[in-house]
């Protein structure tokens, strides 16, 4: 089983690298679009590698704080509305492991998947943000604004959504542990 996963990660990395190289030859290796595609490729590779290694958040950011709950700033920022849109769109299938499906009831596994997905989006945002700043400093305001919008839609909001999901799962799992005692 592990060998199959290693092969999948290696094949995916090779495919992404070849694709980025070929695209770079066409549009130029200094193209901002290549950087954007590289971010998406890195996220895809992290997703394929999840059976072997799951990304983690920094320890200080891992815990979900009480103010991040349903009545906190996430509601005002539209995170829950964003989550509803995700549930009813094809984007749901980019990471179906963070949804309970027919016959799937392992809340601990769901929590692990949500934490890994949150970490993937977090690290993609952290690594992509300096490039957005670089574009702004170079005076490419329209492109920086576009990439900031992409950053919000594809990294920040999904990360916040998965964080809120983890918070809800923590509450459910905590109640289940209390009942067992």
For residues 48-55, give the mean pLDDT.
94
Indicate whether 88 and 24 sit together in one domain. Answer: no
For residues 7-20, give the mean pLDDT.
97
Q: How far is CA 4 from CA 1, 34, 55, 157, in A?
A: 5, 29, 20, 32
The whole-number pLDDT of residue 180 equals 67
Q: Tell me phi and psi for residue 58, to 5 degrees.
A: -60, 145
Sign for the CA dihedral angle at 121, 122, 124, 130 comes to positive
Q: Does 81 reside within a domain?
A: yes
The whole-number pLDDT of residue 21 equals 97
- E strand residue ranges, the chain: none
The whole-number pLDDT of residue 119 equals 97
Of 147, 70, 83, residue with least CA distance to 117: 83
Whether 173 and 108 have beta carbons less than 8 Å apart is answered as yes
Q: Does 82 reside within a domain?
A: yes
Is residue 94's pLDDT more than 60? yes
Indicate whether 7 and 95 sit together in one domain. Answer: no
Question: How many domains in the chain?
Answer: 2
Q: Does 59 reside within a domain?
A: no
Indicate whether 31 and 106 sit together in one domain. Answer: no
For residues 133-148, give the mean pLDDT.
97
Helices (H) and strands (E) in the chain, counts: 8, 0
The whole-number pLDDT of residue 173 equals 83
Q: Does 8 reside within a domain?
A: yes
Indicate whether 79 and 134 sit together in one domain. Answer: yes
Could you tell me the two tokens for 35? Answer: 């950087």
Domain that holds residue 49: 1-53
The band of 181, judged by pLDDT with boundaries at 50, 70 and 90, is: low
Indicate whether 161 and 91 sit together in one domain. Answer: yes
Q: In terms of pTM, does the model score above 0.85? A: yes
Between 106 and 54, the higher pLDDT residue = 54
The band of 100, judged by pLDDT with boundaries at 50, 70 and 90, is: confident
Indicate whether 42 and 86 sit together in one domain. Answer: no
């Amino acid at each position: 089983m592990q060998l199959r996963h290693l092969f999948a990660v290696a094949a995916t990395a090779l495919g992404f690298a070849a694709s980025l190289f070929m695209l770079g030859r066409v549009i130029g290796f200094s193209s901002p679009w290549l950087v954007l595609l590289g971010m998406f490729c890195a996220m895809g590779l992290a997703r394929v590698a999840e059976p072997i290694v799951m990304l983690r958040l920094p320890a200080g950011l891992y815990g979900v704080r009480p103010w991040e709950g349903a009545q906190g700033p996430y509601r005002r920022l539209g995170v829950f509305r964003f989550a509803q849109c995700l549930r009813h769109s094809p984007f749901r299938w980019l990471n179906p492991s963070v949804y309970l499906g027919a016959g799937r009831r392992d809340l601990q596994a769901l929590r692990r998947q949500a934490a890994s997905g949150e970490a993937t989006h977090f690290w993609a945002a952290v690594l992509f943000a300096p490039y957005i700043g670089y574009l702004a400093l170079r005076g490419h305001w329209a492109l920086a604004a576009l990439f900031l919008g992409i950053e919000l839609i594809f990294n920040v909001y999904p990360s916040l959504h998965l964080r809120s999901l983890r918070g809800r799962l923590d509450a459910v799992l905590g109640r289940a542990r209390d009942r067992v005692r």
